[in-house]
Amino acid sequence: MLLYFSFFKHPLMNLIIDIGNTVAKLAVFQKNELLRKEVVEQELVSEIIYNLFKEYFPINKVVVSNVSSVSFRLPEKLQQRVKLVELSAATPLPFKNLYATPATLGNDRKALVAAAVKNYPAQNVLVIDAGTCITYDFKNAADEYLGGGISPGLKMRFRALNSFTANLPLVEAEGTCDLIGDSTISSIRSGVQQGTVMEIEGIIHTYSNRYRNLITIITGGDASFLSINLKNGIFANSNFLLEGLNYILEFNIDQ
């Protein structure tokens, strides 16, 4: 009886597994509270999962989102202990999806819109994810997902200049840069960094003109770097995608 009582004293927890194009993110949530976050190489995912199951007891719900080319399945003995949601084109979502090709909508974009619905219901929200690619996703005040845009991320732009020309060097992003570059390297930085910032600001401005009281969220690996150069009024949230996956998990388990 004491064992039975102590088991149910522990709050139940969710495990979020997000395997992206370059790294994997794992997170433990207790309801809406983020308890732990790990960013690891893809080959370390299974090891970290076992460690988290040992450290956080009891994890009873798991969501897996995999947008990489690496196949992954939760180990069978862990599947038997949890309620599992493997995010796919068939997974029910907590918003109305008006995307013309819903089967092609990436898991990461679904999660970002879910987070927008969870955190900003009945409001116009533009979510910008600055990672390998820069994605723009918009949901309106009726909590309908309309779509957005996809463009190259910072690293992809730098690599493209190096790969598709004979003489331009591979350059990395570095702090703020002047509008007028006075060398080849500083000119590349100006073109890529200033160009990306102006792209984002221009898209935000256009959405704001079309949709009143627009809320803009920026997230992703380059969000902190870019937000330094962006105008005020944009909310940075590095965990927005994880929050969205947690909400999708709760939405599906509660149905």
116 annotated among ligand-binding-site residues: no
**How far is 228 from 222, CA to CA, in rounded Å?**
10
Do 139 and 118 form a contact (C-beta atoms < 8 A)? Answer: no
Residue in 163, 220, 199 with CA at minimum distance from that of residue 171: 163
129 annotated among ligand-binding-site residues: yes
109 annotated among ligand-binding-site residues: yes
132 annotated among ligand-binding-site residues: yes
108 annotated among ligand-binding-site residues: yes
196 annotated among ligand-binding-site residues: no
222 annotated among ligand-binding-site residues: no
Q: Cβ–Cβ contacts within 10 Å for residue 79, how many?
A: 13
- Cis bond leading into 58, ω under 30°? yes
20 annotated among ligand-binding-site residues: yes
106 annotated among ligand-binding-site residues: yes
Question: Is 108 one of the annotated active-site residues of the chain?
Answer: yes
List, as one string, the DSSP characters of 13-48: EEEEEEE-SS-EEEEEEETTEEEEEEEE-GGGHHHH
22 annotated among ligand-binding-site residues: yes
3-state SS track over 171-211: CCCCCCCCCCCCCHHHHHHHHHHHHHHHHHHHHHHHHHHHC
18 annotated among ligand-binding-site residues: yes
CA dihedral of 50, 48, 89, 109, whole degrees rounded to 10: 150
* Amino acid in position 223: A
Annotated binding site for substrate: 99, 106-109, 184
- Annotated catalytic residues are 108
Annotated binding site: 18-25, 99, 106-109, 129, 132, 184
Annotated binding site for K(+): 129
